[in-house]
A and B are shown apart, each in its own frame.
Chain A
Amino acid sequence: AQSVAQPEDQVNVAEGNPLTVKCTYSVSGNPYLFWYVQYPNRGLQFLLKYITGDNLVKGSYGFEAEFNKSQTSFHLKKPSALVSDSALYFCAVNTGGFKTIFGAGTRLFVKA
């Protein structure tokens, strides 16, 4: 069965420190991987995606993610966290068709 796992319900980091939000997946075929952010009472906002090419993908707000095929991972990273980065982050996988599978979400807290 195809699935996406975000192993951490919550990640806590201090402002200015690097952050990582983990995502692993299990799909058949070539994955198209996405990261979204959601703020309270708002819809998902697209951060970045990996379709093909360079394994390191750069996205909005200084976020980046690295596609690792051997580890089937697509971890979200940022070199220096901001308090305003505190939000709920979702990893998602699409296999080129019409269905997208979401992880359960990881809540990021950045402390000043």
Chain B
Amino acid sequence: GAVVSQHPSWVICKSGTSVKIECRSLDFQATTMFWYRQFPKQSLMLMATSNEGSKATYEQGVEKDKFLINHASLTLSTLTVTSAHPEDSSFYICSADRAPYGYTFGSGTRLTVV
């Protein structure tokens, strides 16, 4: 079946540093990928829609300069949390458009900023 590999699964970083999260479709090409954020017991919040070869579309309230999204190829999208702060600690998950079959989720990344 279609697999989306998300890496790392867990990362701890110091406040002020940047962290890159990768989302890779292993056996299909994904023109569109979505990035979500979740806090415990809360629903996922869509952060941005990433389209290969173009700028990401950010949801209202999401800082595009803080959450940099790059979708340079049909199999890879990256989310970089720049100058991370403790309030950025969260669970980040991507999903890839596996048209026409649906969407496949990555396994998620738990970010802890200390």
Answer yes or no: are A and B bound together in one complex. yes
| A residues whose Cβ falls under 8 Å from a Cβ of B | 32, 34, 36, 38, 41, 43-44, 46, 49, 51, 88, 92, 94, 96-100, 102, 105, 107
Contact call A88/B44, Cβ cutoff below 8 A: no
The 9 sampled A-B contact pairs (Cβ below 8 Å) are A32-B41, A36-B44, A38-B103, A41-B32, A44-B36, A94-B38, A98-B110, A99-B108, A105-B103
Please indicate the chain B residues that have their CB under 8 angstroms from the CB of A32 in the complex. Answer: 41
Contact call B91/A100, Cβ cutoff below 8 A: yes
Taking the closest CB of chain B, its distance from the CB of A107, in whole angstroms, is: 7
Describe A's contact surface by its main secondary structure.
Answer: strand
Q: Using a Cβ cutoff of 8 Å, how many contacts connect chains A and B?
A: 49
What's the Cα separation between A41 and B49 when bound, in Å? 9
Contact partner of A51 among B41, B97, B108, CB < 8 A?
Answer: B41
Closest to B109 in A: A98
Contact call B44/A100, Cβ cutoff below 8 A: yes
- Residues 53 to 94 of chain B near chain A (Cβ within 8 Å): 59, 90-91, 93
| B residues whose Cβ falls under 8 Å from a Cβ of A | 32, 34, 36, 38, 40-41, 43-44, 46, 49, 59, 90-91, 93, 95, 97, 102-103, 105, 108, 110
Closest to A51 in B: B41
Q: Return the 8 tightest CB-CB contacts between A and B, nearest first.
A: A43-B46, A98-B91, A46-B43, A98-B110, A43-B34, A102-B105, A32-B41, A105-B102
Q: A36-B43, A41-B97 are in contact. List 9 more A-B contacts (CB 8 A).
A: A38-B103, A43-B59, A44-B95, A46-B43, A51-B41, A88-B103, A92-B44, A102-B105, A105-B102
Taking the closest CB of chain A, its distance from the CB of B103, in whole angstroms, is: 6
Contact partner of A100 among B34, B46, B103, B108, CB < 8 A?
Answer: B108
